[in-house]
Amino acid sequence: MTEQKILILDFGGQYNQLIARRVREHHVYCELRPYDTPLEEIRRFAPMGLIFTGGPNSVYLPDAPRVDPGIFALGLPILGICYGCQLLSQMLGGRVVPAQADSAREYGKTETFFDTDCALFKGLPGQSVTWMSHGDYMARIPAGFRLAAHSAACPTAAICDEERRFYGVQFHPEVNHTAYGSQMLRNFLYEICGAAGDWTMAGYREQAVAAIREKVGGGRALLALSGGVDSSVAAALMAEAIGEQLSCVFVDHGLLRKDEGDEVEAAFAGRAMHFHRIDAGPRFLARLSGVTEPEQKRKAIGEEFIRVFEEAGRQIGAADFLVQGTIYPDVIESGKGPAAVIKSHHNVGGLPEHVAFREILEPLRLLFKDEVRQLGRELGLPEALVSRQPFPGPGLAIRIIGEVTEEKLRILREADAIFRQEIAAAGLAGQCSQYFAALTNLRSVGVMGDGRSYDWAVALRSVQTGDFMTADWTRLPYELLDRASVRIVNEVRGVNRVLYDITSKPPATVEYE
């Protein structure tokens, strides 16, 4: 593993995993650990720099999370972001207070002015937009620091002590809304910490393979293979690490897209791995009968997955480990520490308490979707598989609002296939990060021929995103939407209305449930 490492101390902010992603984009290895990581553990990790993340707390409260004061004597460069900036100030003798007026609180895009003599802002314009999200501000900065940026409402938008290489920014450079945020982080890594940028996906692959071999030893592993990007890359990585000790089980839960079960089997059946297909559609459909609440759906599907895997494990032979394709967005949205649970993912929050495996392995847990695709290419997977459309583990069940039935699945499969065909025919498949049809629980009156209809409304959804943490709806051509709508209404029995979802994430999520 590279000797050049950044340690990110996590204070529970909503963008914290993005900081890690941005650092890795600059080819610098990093890890995210709790803010109360012991000083000795930090010394053993031997980072070349530290980043304090944002968080929901106020640093002046008695129970506010704090780092070990000894951190400031390690001689390491430190970048504090939002809460991390305020903590840096408060612990080193500054004073942070609540904003006394609404005008002093800043949320969203904010015009900000920079001192470009500060190393953090080297090469930046003197004025640009940053993304603010704070209700406290630094009323006094510590001795040895100077002001490095300001906005109309906040005179202390950034501070620096360049002798000790301590920097703090009140805004969030890790989000795309901060125009030059990536350059700021690069300046911290290269200009301040002295990074060489020698971390690559090839290096990550080598580290991951070694870690898997050490963890599994002589044991056997069972992997849930859906044929999607995440599980496929996890399968390739595990196969490289432990070979014949791995069995891949493809559970056809009856909630897949049109013809997808056969396509998955064709793609993996000839590979050098133990491949088992289990047709469990009726079993999952029975389990979902009468279930309408989204979280109950996810948990029911997650538990049924585990039961099927347990049974498969007994038939194949005892397995010590269950392998899952969990990635960072899954973990974030399922809630971690003080973070809110947005929705439970079947491979994170949807698991039952007791499973018949010694341990669950998540070899992709530290990667975002684009990094997973990079790793897949590094492992030699075909581009068609690596670039495959994201598809949730619970499948079409969370694209059907309300109870899941065989008839609703038929309608959704056909409508989704038509939409995807039209996207591909228009040459836009590579420009849309994720696109699909969903079946709403809305039925409405329509006119079909000369008669009255009372049928379902289908919603079409397409988003563009780099990390799936935030997403914007795709501005698809009206002509494409028109063709898709006409085809769906004419070709899919039971549909008389087609809607197009123009909601970004946030406030919505990409999926419907």
Give pLDDT tens digits for 44-93: 999 999 999 999 899 999 999 999 999 999 999 999 999 999 999 999 99
pLDDT band at 288; cut points 50, 70, 90: very high
Residue 445 above 80 pLDDT? Answer: yes
Task: Summarize the confidence of residues 180-193 as an average pLDDT.
Answer: 97
Residues 15-45 have pLDDT tens digits of 888 898 899 999 999 988 999 999 999 999 9
Beta bridge partners of 133: 107
pLDDT the model gives residue 105? 58
Q: Does 159 share its domain with 207? A: no
Q: Does 173 share its domain with 205? A: no
Q: Of 144, 166, 192, which residue is a domain's last?
A: 192
Q: Which of 27, 85, 134, 172 does the annotation list as catalytic?
A: 172
Q: Does 426 share its domain with 344? A: no
CATH number at residue 236: 3.40.50.620
CB 473 within 8 A of CB 433: no
Residue in 246, 269, 256, 201 with CA at minimum distance from that of residue 226: 256
Tally of structural domains, the chain: 3
Q: Does 149 share its domain with 207? A: no
pLDDT the model gives residue 340? 40
pLDDT the model gives residue 383? 82
116 in a domain, yes or no? yes
Residue 274 above 60 pLDDT? Answer: yes
174 is catalytic: yes
Q: How many CB atoms lie within 10 A of CB 171?
A: 29
Q: Does 423 share its domain with 380? A: no
394 in a domain, yes or no? no
Q: Does 420 share its domain with 346? A: no
pLDDT band at 426; cut points 50, 70, 90: very high
Residue 473 above 80 pLDDT? Answer: yes
**Rounded Cα gap, residues 460 and 499, in angstroms:** 6
Q: Does 98 share its domain with 11? A: yes
**Rounded Cα gap, residues 236 and 382, in angstroms:** 11
Q: Which of 27, 30, 82, 346 does the annotation list as catalytic?
A: 82
Q: Of 192, 210, 244, which residue is a domain's last?
A: 192
Residue in 328, 324, 363 with CA at minimum distance from that of residue 469: 328
289 in a domain, yes or no? yes
Residue in 495, 496, 391, 494 with CA at minimum distance from that of residue 435: 391
509 in a domain, yes or no? no
Q: Which of 174, 333, 414, 511 does the annotation list as catalytic?
A: 174
67 in a domain, yes or no? yes
pLDDT the model gives residue 203? 87
82 is catalytic: yes
Q: Of 192, 221, 250, which residue is a domain's last?
A: 192
Task: Summarize the confidence of residues 155-164 as an average pLDDT.
Answer: 95
Beta bridge partners of 15: none
pLDDT the model gives residue 100? 66
Per the rule left: phi > 0, alpha: psi between -120 and 50, beta: everything else, 108 is: left
395 in a domain, yes or no? no
CB 81 within 8 A of CB 51: yes
Residue in 236, 258, 180, 469 with CA at minimum distance from that of residue 363: 236
pLDDT the model gives residue 134? 67
Q: Does 220 share its domain with 302? A: yes
Residue 348 above 50 pLDDT? Answer: no
Residues 231-255 have pLDDT tens digits of 889 999 998 999 889 999 888 999 9
221 in a domain, yes or no? yes
CATH number at residue 459: 3.30.300.10
pLDDT the model gives residue 336? 46
Q: Does 34 share its domain with 169? A: yes
Residue 347 above 60 pLDDT? Answer: no
**Rounded Cα gap, residues 23 and 149, in angstroms:** 22
Q: Does 142 share its domain with 27? A: yes
172 is catalytic: yes
Q: Which residues contact 367 (CB under 8 A, 6 or more apart)?
A: 327, 328, 375
Find the range with the poorest average confidence among 50-54, 225-229, 415-419, 470-474: 225-229
Q: Could you tell me whether strands 221-224 and 321-323 are parallel, antiparallel, or unpaired per DSSP bridges?
A: parallel
pLDDT band at 421; cut points 50, 70, 90: very high
Q: Is 304 helix (H, G, I), strand (E, B) or coil?
A: helix
Q: Does 334 share its domain with 455? A: no
Q: DSSP characters for 163-221?
A: TTTEEEESS-TTSTTSTTHHHHHHIIIIIIS-------HHHHHHHHHHHHHHHHTT--E
The proportion of the chain whose per-residue pLDDT surpasses 70, expressed as a percent, equals 92
Q: Does 253 share its domain with 310? A: yes
pLDDT band at 136; cut points 50, 70, 90: confident
| Residue 74: burial class (beta carbons within 10 Å; 0-12, 13-18, 19+) | middle
**Rounded Cα gap, residues 498 and 9, in angstroms:** 46
pLDDT the model gives residue 80? 97
Q: Which domain holds residue 164?
A: 5-192
More confident residue, 310 or 216: 216
Find the range with the poorest average confidence among 15-29, 75-89, 400-414, 476-490: 15-29
